[in-house]
Amino acid sequence: MCGIVAYVGHQEAYPIILKGLKRLEYRGYDSSGVALLDQELNVFKKQGKVAELENALNGTQLKATIGIGHTRWATHGEPSDRNAHPHLSKSGRLAMIHNGIIENYAALKQDLLAKGYVFHSDTDTEVLLNFIDDILVNNNCSLEEAVRIALKRVVGAYVIVLLDKENPDTLIAARKGSPLVIGIGKDEHFLASDASPIIEYTKEVVYINDYELAIIKGDQLLLKNLGNEVITPFVQQLDLELAAIEKGGYDHFMLKEIHEQPHTIFDCLRGRLDMAKGDIVMGGVQQHIDKLMHANRIIIIACGTSWHAGLVAEYIIEELCRIPVEVEYASEFRYRNPIVNKGDVIVAISQSGETADTLVAIEKAKEQGAMIFGVLNVVGSSIARVSHAGAYTHAGPEIGVASTKAFTAQLVVLTMIALKIAKEKKSISPERFQHLMRELNDVPAKAERILANAELIKEVALRHATATSFLFLGRGYNFPVALEGALKLKEISYIHAEGYPAAEMKHGPIALVDDQLPVLFVATKDAYHEKVVSNMQEINARKGKLIAVITEGDHTMDSLTADLIPVPAADELIAPILNVIPLQLLSYYIGVGRGLDVDRPRNLAKSVTVE
C-alpha cells in the first residue's frame, strides 16, 4: 500500500518520478505528490490519481535533479490534498514520504503538540517527520543520526525517504516491514517500492532489509543498520523486462493478465513438469521432502485470492497426500493463540510476498518452530526472505489490482507440490500421478481455448451487468472457485456477490433468490455433477437467473438456461485452474460494462502492507 519513488542524479527528477508513480499506482491512488529540491524545496500534491497531479503541474518548470514522490492508499486521514504526501517538517527543512503505519503515532503526537508543533494533516507520517525534526533540532545532530534515534522509538511499519534542504544532494531512506528497492545507475540512484519504476534505467538493484538505513547521493550508496554499522550492499541483477509491466495493446492490465495465463501457466510448469521422465522437479520441495511428507499437519496461511488458492490446495493435498490441512486467514491467525507444533509445516501463499498480515503470521509460526514454505510470485520479497524454502509461481509482475494470473499460477504450483509429496509418500498410484501430470501439461492449451471464447463470455456479462447482487455456487474443488468468482465481481464491478457451497445454499442464501438474482454455478463434470444440476433445478424453480460454467459437450443444463459457458473437460483436481478463467472475464466485462476503472477499483490497493 502506497507507492514511493525517489531519484537523485544528473537527470531531471520529475519526469522519472512521475512515470514511476504511474507504474506504482496499483499500490494506491487516493492522492499523489512530489517534493523537488532545486535551491528551493517545492512540494506539489493532489487528491486523486497520478494524472490529477500531472495535469496540475503541466507547464510548470521543474528542473530539480533530486526529488521524492508518493502515491497514497489512505490509512490515517481521508484522501485529500492536505493528507497527501510528501509532508513538510515544521521548520520547512525536511520533506518526507512514507509507506506503512506508525502505530505509536498518537503518543508521539501528544509530546510534539505539547512542544508547540502544529499539524497540517491527519497522518501518522507528519508525526514521524516532526519527531525526526524535533530530534534534529534538540540534539544538534546530523539528519542521519536523528532518523536513527527516531526509528528506535517507532512502533510499526515503514519505508521513509527524506529530502533535506541543508543537504541538497542526499536522500535518506529506511525500511521496516514495507518494501524498498534501490536501482544503481551511472552517477544516479532510483528508489522505489518495487522494481517497476527502475527497470528502464538500470538492472542493478539492491533490496533494502528491515532496520537498514540508506544514505544516497548520485554517485554513492551507503548502507547502515540502526546501530550505525556499515553494511555492504548486496547488488542483484533484475530479471524483469519492461514489456512485462506495460499493457501491450490491451485496454487494461487486468485483461492483459487474464490473457497471459496460457503463458504464465506454461512458465510455471516449465522445467518442473518433466514429461519425458514422468516426474516433477521442484528444488524447494525436494530439499525438504522429509519434513513435508512427514508433516503432522500443513497449515496454509494467506489472504484474499491467495486464501482461495489455499482452499483448493487443502482439498488436493488431503486427497493426494493424506496429510491434514488447515487453511487460515493470516489476519485471524496472527491475533489468536494458534497451536503450532514443531512437526507442522506452514505454507504461506502470497502474490506480492509483502502482505503484512501474512508476513507477521508466518513470523509468529516460525518463532513456534514451524517450517515455513512460501508459494510466492515476487522474487526476493519479504515473505520469501522469512521462509525456509519455497516455490515461486513465475507469473510475472501482476499489476491489475484484482489478482488473476497469480491465482492460476498458485494453483498450478500447489498442485505440483501435492503431487510431488504424494509420489514420495506413495499415497498416489503411479497411474494417477502420470494422469495428473498429463492433465497439468494440457492446461495452457485448454486455457487458450477458454480465452478464445471471450466474446461469448462478454455477451453473458453484458446481459447481467445491471444486476445489484450475484450468487456464485460450486461444490468440492469448485467451491473455492465460486468464492473467487464472487470476490472478483465485488472488487471490479462493486456488485454485491456471495460465494457459497452449492448444497449449503438451501440453509439460508436461497431466501435471496428471485427473478432478479443471477446465480452462477460452477458446474463442470465431476463427482458432484448430478447433485449440482439438482441444485440448479432448485434455483430454476424459484426463477433465479441461472448462469453456468459447464464442461464442453454437456447438454444436461440446456433446458435450464441459455447462459452456459463451456470449458474443456479436465480432471476435477485440475478443473479449478480452468474454471476460474471465465469468472475473471465475466467480472472484467461487467466492470467495463458499468464504466468502471477495473485496474484501479475504489478503496483497494494491490499490496496490503498494513494490517
Closest of 571, 566, 544 to residue 556, by C-alpha: 566
3-class secondary-structure state, position 158: strand
Residue spans of beta strands (DSSP E) within 218-335? 220-225, 230-231, 235-237, 273-274, 279-280, 297-302, 325-329
Q: How far is the CB of 145 from ligand F6R (least distance, A)?
A: 35
Q: How far is the CB of 302 from ligand F6R (least distance, A)?
A: 6
β-strand 204-207 against 212-217: which pairing, if any? Answer: unpaired
CB-wise, 425 or 496, nearer to ligand F6R?
496
CB-wise, 125 or 352, nearer to ligand F6R?
352
Question: Scanning the structure block, which residue is given the C-alpha cell 438456461?
Answer: 561
CA dist 329 and 349 (Å) reads 11
CA dist 575 and 408 (Å) reads 11
Q: Which residue stretch of 302-310, 332-340, 511-519, 571-579 sits at the interface with ligand F6R (rule: CB under 6 A)?
A: 302-310
Cα–Cα distance list, 498 to 239, 470, 510, 611 (Å): 39, 6, 12, 24
Q: How far is the CB of 602 from ligand F6R (least distance, A)?
A: 14
Cα–Cα distance list, 174 to 6, 141, 150, 430, 573 (Å): 13, 18, 11, 52, 45
- The residue from 303, 486, 583, 610 that contacts ligand F6R (CB under 6 A) is 303
Question: Scanning the structure block, which residue is given the C-alpha cell 502470497?
Answer: 350
Q: Which of 45, 49, 423, 606 is catalytic?
A: 606
The letter for the amino acid at 525 is K
Q: How far is the CB of 324 from ligand F6R (least distance, A)?
A: 24
305 lies in the binding site for ligand F6R (CB under 6 A) = yes
- The residue from 75, 306, 535, 609 that contacts ligand F6R (CB under 6 A) is 306
Closest of 349, 304, 295, 355 to residue 325, by C-alpha: 295
355 lies in the binding site for ligand F6R (CB under 6 A) = yes
Tell me which DSSP letter residue 336 carries: S
Q: Which residue stretch of 345-353, 442-450, 471-479, 498-506 sits at the interface with ligand F6R (rule: CB under 6 A)?
A: 345-353
CB-wise, 75 or 355, nearer to ligand F6R?
355
What contacts 24+ positions apart, CB below 8 Å, involve 225-229? 226/148, 226/151, 226/152, 228/148
β-strand 171-176 against 189-192: which pairing, if any? Answer: unpaired
How big is the site for ligand F6R, counted in residues (CB under 6 A)? Answer: 15
381 lies in the binding site for ligand F6R (CB under 6 A) = no
Which strands form 189-192's sheet, in the order they lie side by side? 40-47, 31-38, 66-72, 3-8, 189-192, 181-184, 204-207, 235-237
3-state DSSP percent of the chain in helix, strand and coil, to 5:
40, 25, 35
Q: How far is the CB of 486 from ligand F6R (least distance, A)?
A: 11
Interface mask toward ligand F6R for 396-435; x: CB under 6 A: ------xx--------------------------------
Residue nearest ligand F6R (C-beta atom): 304
351 lies in the binding site for ligand F6R (CB under 6 A) = yes
Question: Scanning the structure block, which residue is given the C-alpha cell 507504474?
Answer: 23
Total residue length of the chain? 611
193 lies in the binding site for ligand F6R (CB under 6 A) = no
CB-wise, 36 or 409, nearer to ligand F6R?
409
Closest of 475, 305, 266 to residue 400, by C-alpha: 305
CB-wise, 44 or 333, nearer to ligand F6R?
333
CB-wise, 65 or 403, nearer to ligand F6R?
403
User: Is 2 part of the annotated catalytic residue set?
Assistant: yes
608 lies in the binding site for ligand F6R (CB under 6 A) = yes
What are residue 143's phi and psi, to 5 degrees? -60, -40
Closest of 173, 115, 116, 114 to residue 143, by C-alpha: 173
Q: How far is the CB of 410 from ligand F6R (least distance, A)?
A: 8
Interface mask toward ligand F6R for 8-47; x: CB under 6 A: ----------------------------------------
DSSP string, 215-239: EEETTEEEEEETTS-EE---EEE--
Between CA 518 and CA 329, with CA 527 as vertex, the angle to 5 degrees is: 65
Q: What is the CA radius of gyration of the chain?
A: 25
Q: How far is the CB of 604 from ligand F6R (least distance, A)?
A: 8
Q: How far is the CB of 15 from ligand F6R (least distance, A)?
A: 29
CB-wise, 444 or 601, nearer to ligand F6R?
601
Q: How far is the CB of 359 from ligand F6R (least distance, A)?
A: 9
> Per the structure block, which three cell numbers stand in for 157?
511499519
- The residue from 9, 218, 262, 304 that contacts ligand F6R (CB under 6 A) is 304
- The residue from 170, 178, 264, 350 that contacts ligand F6R (CB under 6 A) is 350
User: Is 141 part of the annotated catalytic residue set?
Assistant: no
Residue spans of beta strands (DSSP E) within 351-487? 371-376, 389-392, 469-474
CB-wise, 28 or 86, nearer to ligand F6R?
28
393 lies in the binding site for ligand F6R (CB under 6 A) = no
Task: Write out the binding residues for ligand F6R, residues 588-607 only, by CB under 6 A.
Answer: 607
CB-wise, 47 or 351, nearer to ligand F6R?
351
> Per the structure block, which three cell numbers stand in for 181?
528497492
Interface mask toward ligand F6R for 466-505; x: CB under 6 A: ---------------------x---x--------------
Please say whether the beta carbons of 230 and 223 come within 8 A: yes
- The residue from 352, 387, 393, 587 that contacts ligand F6R (CB under 6 A) is 352
For the chain, the straight-line distance linking the first and the last C-alpha, in angstroms and rounded, comes to 10
CB-wise, 96 or 402, nearer to ligand F6R?
402
Q: Which of 2, 268, 303, 321 is catalytic?
A: 2
Task: State the catalytic residues.
Answer: 2, 606
Binding site for ligand F6R (CB under 6 A): 303-306, 350-352, 355, 358, 402-403, 487, 491, 607-608
